[in-house]
Amino acid sequence: MKICVIGIGLIGGSIALTLKKKGLVSYVKGVEANQQHAERALALGLADEILPLEDAIHETDIIILSVPVSAAENMLPKILDHITTQVVMDVGSTKYGLVKTVKDHPNRKRFVATHPMWGTEYSGPDAATLNSFSGKAVVVTDREDSDAEALLKIENLYKTLGMHIVYMNSEAHDLHAAYVSHISHITSFALANTVLEKEREEDTIFQLASAGFESTVRLAKSNPDMWVPIFMQNRENVLDVLNEHITQLRKFKSCLEKENYEYLRELIEKANKIGKVLIEKQNTGLKNKV
């Protein structure tokens, strides 16, 4: 099978690398606007050739759109304009705005909206890794709007990557993503800025940084070119979650101001329950693995 990957960075590159290794894909056509990234993608074997968009689309089976969500909204209608039998999928972190842009497109049924729930704080072709998706979830949204044959191809692709599939509509996806992903990044960005603002001597930060601090601010290294469009696209949901997060922070602040350490303990004990919830959900997900 031949695929076209538009945007050969962390996600697109990792998908191409893993599918080639597993033998599902024999040839990868790449589309990459960044010349340095294009050269690295070829050098790393993530793509067999880099072509202009219209040339790369032809004579492929699946087209993977792996660019920032704002760019995806502009590119997807144009891609659908030029396909015949190909299947198009995206890997964006927001879904509602994207599916809305092609709602009435004559080739809408050849598009499958997806969001693989994996990523790191790194970006670009050098961030691509092998078998990183195994055991993770992928969300497929609005599957009723895609051809059964197109949907099956994408489901098989993700199963080859070792992922289990979760189905939901695009609006529900964006709300849930705001809770489990987007707020985590905002929190990490804010904490990093707090520390940098208060701690002027950077050497002290690095000397005292513990594993806990490093893991909490890990996401603060994420690329703004990716995350600003995500926050823009999912603004209302992110604001809703952010307001709740601020409320929770105020509770901790109030406990310390009023020296109410009993309530502080209650807040921490309540937070501890998230571990049990995550384990239960993980076990349920494995039992229901598609």
Straight-line distance from the first to the last Cα atom of the chain, in angstroms, rounded to the nearest whole number: 23
Global pTM? 0.84
Per the CB < 8 A criterion, the answer to whether 110 and 88 are in contact is: yes
On the question of a common fold for 2-169 and 173-287, the answer reads no
Q: Closest Cα partner for 142 from 110, 182, 171, 164?
A: 171
Q: Closest Cα partner for 159 from 5, 24, 6?
A: 24
- Which CATH code, of 3.30.1390.20, 1.10.3660.10, 3.40.190.10, 3.40.50.2300, is assigned to 173-287? 1.10.3660.10
Q: Which pair of structure tokens corresponds to residue 163?
A: 């992922």
Per-residue pLDDT of the chain (290 residues; tens, 9 = 90+): 999 999 999 999 999 999 999 999 999 999 999 999 999 999 999 999 999 999 999 999 999 999 999 999 999 999 999 999 999 999 999 999 999 999 999 999 999 999 999 988 889 999 999 989 999 999 999 999 999 999 999 999 999 999 999 999 999 999 999 998 999 999 999 988 988 887 776 667 767 766 777 778 888 999 999 999 999 999 999 999 999 999 999 999 999 999 999 999 999 999 999 888 777 666 655 444 44
Q: What is the pLDDT of residue 10?
A: 95
The fold of the 2-169 domain, in CATH, is Rossmann fold (3.40.50)
Q: Where are the domains of the chain?
A: 2-169, 173-287
Q: What is the pLDDT of residue 101?
A: 97
Per the CB < 8 A criterion, the answer to whether 105 and 132 are in contact is: no
Q: What is the pLDDT of residue 278?
A: 72
